[in-house]
Amino acid sequence: MTTDPSLITRATEADLKQTAKNRHSTNGRKGAAHIQSYDRKTSDDAIAVIGLSCRCAGAHGQDELWELVSQGRDGIREVERKDWLNFFEKNSSPRVPIHYGAMEELEYFDSLFFNISPHEAECMDSAQCILLEESYKALEDAGCFRFRLKEQSVGTFIGAMGGASGGEDVSHFSMLGNDTSILSARIAYYLDLKGPALAINTACSSSLVAIDLACQSLQNRKIDMAIAGGVTVYTNPGGFVAMNNAGMLSPTGSCRPFDNAADGIVVGDGVGIVILKRLEEAERDNDRMYGVIRGSGTNQDGQTSGITVPSFLSQRQLEESVYKKSKICVEDIQYIEAHGTATKLGDPIEIHALNDSFRKFTKKKKFCAIGSLKANIGHTAAAAGVLSLIKILLSLKNKQMAPSINFDTPNQHIDFENSPFFVNQSLRDWPVNSKASRLAAVSSLGFSGTNAHLVIEEYLDESKVEGRKVEGTS
């Protein structure tokens, strides 16, 4: 968080030069590698998403989130709290941008519903309260009743940033109400779950890493179901000052992913939860399917020019490994929800990594749409990955791709014309691919250096696949 921004710039420019060399080398290849595509009928590692819940700036629930993104609107507003504005004025130079994707109605929490006394609830961080509510809603959405989960092998994997906050209240209620580990533990305690309850902090990639870990536990049959996601709620203005001092915040207060006018991030509150189950068992139980996770993975940048400096090489290696291991044909991927933080030199690193990973397998150009939810709701940190996944799941549900907003002129460091990607700027129908399905990927990159990548597919009833192959277009 305190890395000199000039160091990041110099290191990123060096990375861009390296990617240009790699791109030239890739374009000169005689042919692309071939991946034998997975067999949908016999894929044992497939994980079904059977329920979800979400909240963020401008959206309370999945219907409002889809309305927000499909209509190309944003929930980012000016900070109006006078105490926060006074804090910014006294503690930061340069001036802190005052645009923020704030979640509304944080004060409404029915503590007695969760068997929590009003006094204890007053000592709880807002993130714990909201996470309890949204986890319960996601389970309801999945048709999972509380009494049926009691003492079952259900894992809880929650991405979160920060730790116990200080203050005048030193009671044990305050300690538990603000400690990150209790975010996941409180869900397991309320539902009497016996699977692992983990809080994962890899910074901005936390929730997608949490989902990857949940998928691994399901694939290894250590658990039978997972509650996975992440949460970030800003209840203190100090974080804004720290990010501003690090040169991370957009001075214009506008999040513009992939655009040449991109000048930094805009932060936002957010929470997202998905309920996961092995596909074979979800089909057996006739669960509703939002989508099927076909592959996921996590890696680390290792040493770069600075601990927060990204590595396109690590990002590329992760993407390639996910596609190979999961037998994903990249030409069937039609959409990528990018990390897309809207930094002038950070976005090109991500796009060049994707470009190089795709070029390993195909020479096709401009066939895969790309977008970033951060333009709509801000950078929700530990919740960013899961909310990006939920955006895709809602797109699959509606069979449409939502527009990526605030994009006018392409970033000068990104050559979209000669890449597999184009920025999707309008609400469009989502056609099927060569496998008669709709396929997408999500990237989430932490300033910790931990990267996550996931591939998600529309669920298909096999009895209807042949007909779709005739009717669909790729």
Residue 245 to residue 240: CA distance in whole angstroms:
9
Among candidate residues 54, 204, 329, 368, the one labeled active-site is 204
Strand 421-423 with 368-371, pairing: parallel
Two tokens at 218? 């399901």
The per-residue b/e assignment along 101-139, b for 16 or more CB within 10 angstroms, e otherwise, is bbbeeeeebebeebebeeebbebbbbbbbbbbbbbbbbb
Two tokens at 228? 């996975």
Q: Residue 226: CB partners within 8 Å, gap ≥ 6? A: 154, 155, 156, 157, 195, 214, 215, 217, 218, 275, 276, 277
**Active-site residue, 339 included:** yes
- Cα 248 to Cα 79, 245, 267, 344: the distances in Å are 18, 8, 10, 11
- Which DSSP string corresponds to 79-134? ---HHHHHHHHHH-SSPPP-EEBPPS-TT---GGGGT--HHHHHTS-HHHHHHHHH
Residue 162 to residue 173: CA distance in whole angstroms:
18
Among candidate residues 123, 144, 215, 379, the one labeled active-site is 379
Residue 229 to residue 160: CA distance in whole angstroms:
9
Among candidate residues 99, 144, 329, 339, the one labeled active-site is 339
Residue 5's CB is within 10 A of a number of other CB atoms, namely 13
Q: Classify the phi-psi angles of 436: left when phi > 0, otherwise alpha if psi is within -120 to 50, otherwise beta.
A: left
Residue 131 to residue 256: CA distance in whole angstroms:
29
- Cα 232 to Cα 128, 257, 387, 399: the distances in Å are 10, 21, 11, 29
CA 7 to chain centre: 26
18 within 8 A of 312, measured Cβ to Cβ? yes
Two tokens at 257? 């992913």
Which long-range CB contacts under 8 A does 117-122 form with residues at least 24 apart?
119/173, 120/173, 120/177
Q: Residue 164: CB partners within 8 Å, gap ≥ 6? A: 175, 178, 179, 180
Residue 122 to residue 130: CA distance in whole angstroms:
13
Residue 446 to residue 381: CA distance in whole angstroms:
9
**Active-site residue, 60 included:** no
- For the annotated catalytic residues, the residue numbers are 204, 339, 379
